[in-house]
């Protein structure tokens, strides 16, 4: 059940019990946002320094604009640190900037330079690209804008006009993580799977190509560009799609190559030879009828020196391996890091982080390249902190595992065997005949939120969380050994009834927390960490000013000392932040910019006790700071969180129970768990009388399809919808009673 406006998310991860607090945090609506604790002592932002900031030895930027951006320029990005030319600034995607005009000595003078309202209320996850004073970035649905990076003036806007009914498809909101710039063009993808080449001057379409066969395939990731090729993956693994990565000619849009990440129907010819080796690792099932998964929905990194594209792949479809591959097997190339020849798409090597993935432990989390010293030897490595909770350091020349240490709480495996490269499972994650509580959850110890690496400290800064997941095998499979996929809907193989009962049986609702962890990849240790009152906080930026920047779910933007973790600056934003900041320079002044707009997996996993969006709404904004900026950020009004009156409940307990399961199955993914949205989508307990009267018309009739609330008539009968409405009514009555003062 989608939201009643096109600013609608398809957030997920409730399915496996991603955040217990998010699922049943409804009884705490309106309470305080908590406090932030750190291992390093909390310091007030320092007073303004009397001395001028040190001169920054920055070579003059090339005043060539987007026309001059090519492989050579990106490969030499450190020669012009005033720009942010690629997704992770450079091809190695370390998200480290050599700029140090803003530093730990003058950070107290940092203030708002300008802000831009994005006219959105959905999750904003993009990393802006900045070229010679112009910023290019994407918003939700794949809307793309160009902005004057000095003033914040919007220069042009491109809307791909995605049909509203697509809001029902895809995982985790109608988000988009960014664009790429190459030789005068901006490459951007829309939520419905189209890839566009836009003229960087005015946003006009140069070419357009459809990269997917149709719904429920989607695109939420940022394209990468190299060697006159633009590369993009796809999403939709929960719905039953097959993963692949495709390279297109940047000039014409013609397909150059495509690599399928999992095998298709074994009775048909394989599309790429690597699948011959993969087929024997899928045993006893008919995975191709449910897609198989393995979607490459986020991380890709290009290495010019070896002409290699590294790609992270996603979870299996269904999630549970007992249904997907009942005969066992590793299920290549799920949850893997792939090294591909950038010209041909042929595989050089692969490493699987979670063989036979059973918990939605994707390896699509950000990849980064670095040369680091390990035991006295400089190694060329690729690093990743995937969902499964282990931080991987691999030799990127051959895929050899160097180290894999837990960076968060892990219960499904005890360790990773360095000889075999395989995790050693504890059995705690098995849920074939029981409901299992597992750490990490399907939200992961680390999700898509970008991490950063500072070559000056040698540390990787990772947004992390400890969230327990609830897993229970499909009742249909347990009873009959059958699994009937739902068309254009979630097919995880998880049983909803057991899931709901497990949550209802909890004695109290825990408060999940998030962390910013400074991780030493050479030793496998946490050097310092900051604790937040909520999980799933924003991406990270590290700079030569000895600073690390990160926004949070509870509506703050923080700066820490990169070496010690001391918090030295904070700005109350009121809007939750999940995107990663960038920094750049225009006319000799350094700026730090970040998109504020909460969403994505947070819709279900968020907790109204800590969500800024639940308190102040979720109007998207692009915020940019500089030393002595001097602008004031407008205060947002507190939202009315009261629940209106509902009529007395007449439905039977049986009907309400049916509605509870129906709500969890079809509504919770977008409106939040157990009838509570933490601010991004409508809280259905607060429906007005008119909406209640037209509930059938909305849910089954699709009268709001153009705005993102597609019809669910293919899955829900009139009786089903009435049961869901009865469950929402019961919750509204109970929760309204809690809000009323006691006489």
pTM (predicted TM-score): 0.91
Does residue 48 carry a pLDDT above 50? no
Element holding 460 (H helix, E strand): strand 459-466
pLDDT digits (tens, 9 = 90+) for 219-246: 999 999 999 999 999 999 899 899 999 9
- Poorest-pLDDT segment among 24-28, 191-195, 348-352, 629-633: 24-28
- Poorest-pLDDT segment among 550-554, 556-560, 604-608: 604-608
| Burial environment of residue 79 by CB neighbours within 10 A (0 to 12, 13 to 18, 19 or more) | middle
Highest mean pLDDT among 11-20, 62-71, 242-251: 242-251
pLDDT at 678: 64
Domain edges within the chain: 153-546, 653-739
Higher per-residue pLDDT: 385 or 634: 385
Does residue 327 carry a pLDDT above 50? yes
Does residue 335 carry a pLDDT above 90? yes
Distances (CA, A) of 100 to 12, 405, 562: 39, 32, 12
Does residue 46 carry a pLDDT above 50? no
Q: What is the CATH number of domain 153-546?
A: 2.140.10.10
Does residue 1 carry a pLDDT above 80? no
Distances (CA, A) of 741 to 300, 736, 737: 54, 10, 8
pLDDT at 23: 29
Q: What is the rounded CA–CA span in Å between residue 405 and residue 150?
A: 42
What percentage of the chain exceeds 90 in pLDDT? 71
Mean pLDDT in residue range 115-132: 96
Query: Mean pLDDT for the chain?
Result: 88
360 is catalytic: yes
pLDDT at 741: 58
Band of pLDDT at residue 666, cut at 50, 70 and 90: confident
Q: What is the rounded CA–CA span in Å between residue 120 and residue 174?
A: 11
Q: What is the rounded CA–CA span in Å between residue 103 and residue 48?
A: 12
Q: Is the distance from CB of 312 to CB of 362 less than 8 angstroms?
A: yes
| Burial environment of residue 681 by CB neighbours within 10 A (0 to 12, 13 to 18, 19 or more) | buried
Same fold yes or no, 153-546 and 653-739: no
Does residue 514 carry a pLDDT above 60? yes
Higher per-residue pLDDT: 478 or 463: 463
pLDDT at 670: 80
Q: In what order do the strands lie in the sheet with 154-158?
A: 129-131, 134-138, 144-148, 154-158
| Residue partners of 150: CB distance under 8 A and separation at least 6 | 133, 586, 587, 591
DSSP secondary structure code for residue 222 in this structure: P
- Poorest-pLDDT segment among 257-266, 420-429, 479-488: 479-488
DSSP secondary structure code for residue 404 in this structure: E
Q: Which of 361, 256, 362 is nearest to 311 (CA)?
A: 362
Three-class secondary structure assignment of 124-192: CCCECEEECCEEEEECHHHCEEEEECCCCCEEEEECCCCCHHHHHCCCCCCCCCECEEECCEEEEECCC
Highest mean pLDDT among 98-102, 162-166, 691-695: 98-102
3-state secondary structure at position 684: helix
> Of the listed 132, 192, 360, 498, which one is catalytic?
360
Q: Which of 445, 556, 604 is nearest to 123 (CA)?
A: 604
pLDDT at 679: 65
DSSP codes joined into one string, 602-632: HHHH--TTT-HHHHH----EEEEEEET--BP
pLDDT at 501: 84
Mean pLDDT in residue range 148-169: 92
Mean pLDDT in residue range 192-200: 97
pLDDT at 6: 34
pLDDT digits (tens, 9 = 90+) for 678-737: 667 788 998 889 999 999 999 999 898 877 788 899 999 999 999 999 999 999 998 888
CATH topology of domain 653-739: Cytochrome Bc1 Complex; Chain D, domain 2 (1.10.760)
What percentage of the chain exceeds 70 in pLDDT? 90
List of E strands, 342-455? 347-352, 367-374, 377-384, 390-395, 401-406, 413-416, 423-425, 436-438, 452-454
Does residue 429 carry a pLDDT above 70? yes
Does residue 97 carry a pLDDT above 80? yes
Does residue 499 carry a pLDDT above 90? no
pLDDT at 63: 54
Q: Which of 600, 581, 576 is nearest to 220 (CA)?
A: 600
Higher per-residue pLDDT: 674 or 625: 625
Mean pLDDT in residue range 274-282: 96
pLDDT digits (tens, 9 = 90+) for 446-455: 999 999 999 9
Question: Alpha-carbon torsion 39, 40, 46, 52, what sign?
Answer: negative
pLDDT at 316: 96
pLDDT at 559: 98
């Amino acid at each position: 059940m989608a939201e009643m406006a096109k600013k609608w998310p398809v957030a997920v991860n409730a399915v496996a019990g991603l955040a217990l607090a998010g699922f049943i945090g409804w009884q705490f609506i309106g309470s305080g946002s908590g406090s932030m604790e750190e291992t390093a002592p909390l310091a007030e932002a320092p007073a303004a320094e009397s001395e001028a900031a040190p001169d920054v030895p920055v070579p003059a930027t090339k005043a060539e604009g987007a026309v001059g951006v090519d492989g050579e320029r990106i490969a030499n990005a450190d020669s012009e640190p005033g720009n942010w030319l690629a997704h992770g600034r450079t091809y190695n995607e370390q998200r480290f900037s050599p700029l140090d005009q803003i530093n730990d000595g003058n950070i107290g003078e940092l203030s708002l330079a300008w802000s831009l309202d994005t006219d959105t209320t959905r999750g904003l996850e993009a990393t802006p690209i900045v070229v010679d004073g112009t910023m290019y970035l994407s918003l939700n649905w794949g809307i793309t804008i160009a902005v004057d990076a000095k003033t914040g003036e919007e220069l042009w806007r491109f809307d791909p006009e995605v049909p509203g009914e697509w809001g029902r498809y895809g995982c985790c909101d109608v988000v988009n993580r960014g664009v790429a710039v190459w030789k005068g063009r901006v490459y951007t993808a829309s939520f419905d799977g189209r890839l566009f080449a836009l003229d960087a001057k005015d946003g006009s379409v140069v070419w357009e190509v459809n990269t997917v066969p149709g719904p429920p395939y989607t695109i939420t990731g940022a394209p990468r560009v190299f060697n006159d090729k633009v590369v993009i993956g796809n999403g939709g693994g929960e719905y039953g799609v097959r993963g692949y990565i495709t390279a297109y000619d940047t000039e014409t849009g013609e397909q150059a190559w495509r690599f399928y990440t999992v095998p298709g129907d074994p009775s048909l010819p394989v599309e790429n030879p690597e699948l011959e080796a993969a087929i024997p690792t899928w045993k006893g099932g008919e995975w191709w009828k449910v897609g198989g998964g393995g979607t490459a929905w986020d991380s890709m990194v290009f290495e010019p020196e070896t002409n290699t594209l590294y790609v992270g792949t996603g979870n299996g479809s269904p999630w549970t391996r007992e249904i997907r591959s009942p005969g066992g097997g590793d299920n290549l190339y799920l949850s893997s890091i792939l090294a591909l020849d950038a010209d041909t798409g042929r595989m050089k090597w692969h490493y699987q982080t979670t063989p036979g993935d059973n918990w939605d432990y994707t390896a699509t989390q950000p990849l980064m390249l670095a040369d680091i010293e390990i035991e006295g030897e400089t190694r060329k490595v690729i690093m990743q902190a995937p969902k499964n909770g282990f931080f991987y350091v691999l030799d990127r020349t051959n895929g050899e595992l160097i180290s894999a240490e837990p960076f968060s709480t892990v219960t499904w495996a005890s360790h990773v065997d360095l000889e075999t490269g395989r995790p050693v499972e504890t059995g705690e994650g098995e849920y074939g005949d029981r409901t299992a509580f597992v750490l990490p959850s399907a939200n992961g110890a680390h999700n898509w939120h970008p991490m950063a690496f500072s070559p000056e400290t040698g540390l990787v800064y990772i947004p992390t969380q400890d969230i327990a997941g609830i897993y229970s095998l499909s009742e249909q499979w347990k009873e009959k050994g059958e699994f009937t996929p739902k068309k254009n809907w979630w097919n995880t193989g998880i049983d909803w009834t057991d899931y709901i009962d497990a949550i209802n049986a909890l004695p109290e609702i825990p408060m999940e927390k998030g962390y910013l962890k400074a991780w030493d990849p050479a030793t496998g240790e946490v050097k310092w960490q900051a604790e937040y009152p909520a999980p799933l906080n924003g991406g990270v930026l590290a700079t030569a000013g000895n600073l690390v920047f990160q926004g949070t779910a509870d509506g703050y933007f923080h700066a820490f000392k990169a070496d010690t973790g001391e918090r030295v600056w904070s700005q109350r934003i009121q809007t939750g932040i999940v995107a990663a900041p960038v920094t750049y320079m225009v006319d000799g002044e350094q700026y730090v910019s970040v998109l504020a707009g909460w969403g994505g997996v947070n819709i279900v996993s968020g907790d109204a006790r800590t969500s800024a969006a639940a308190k102040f709404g979720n109007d998207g904004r692009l915020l940019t700071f500089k030393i002595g900026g001097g602008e004031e950020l407008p205060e947002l009004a507190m939202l009315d969180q009261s629940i209106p009156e509902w009529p007395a409940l007449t439905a039977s307990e049986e009907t309400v129970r049916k509605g509870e399961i129906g709500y969890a199955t079809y509504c919770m993914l977008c409106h939040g768990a157990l009838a509570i949205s933490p601010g991004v989508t409508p809280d259905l307990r607060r429906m007005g009388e008119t909406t209640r009267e037209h509930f059938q018309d909305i849910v089954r009739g699709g009268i709001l399809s153009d705005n993102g609330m597609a019809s669910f008539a293919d899955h829900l009968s009139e009786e089903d919808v009435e049961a869901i409405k009865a469950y929402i009514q019961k919750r509204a009555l109970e929760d309204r009673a809690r809000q009323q003062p006691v006489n």
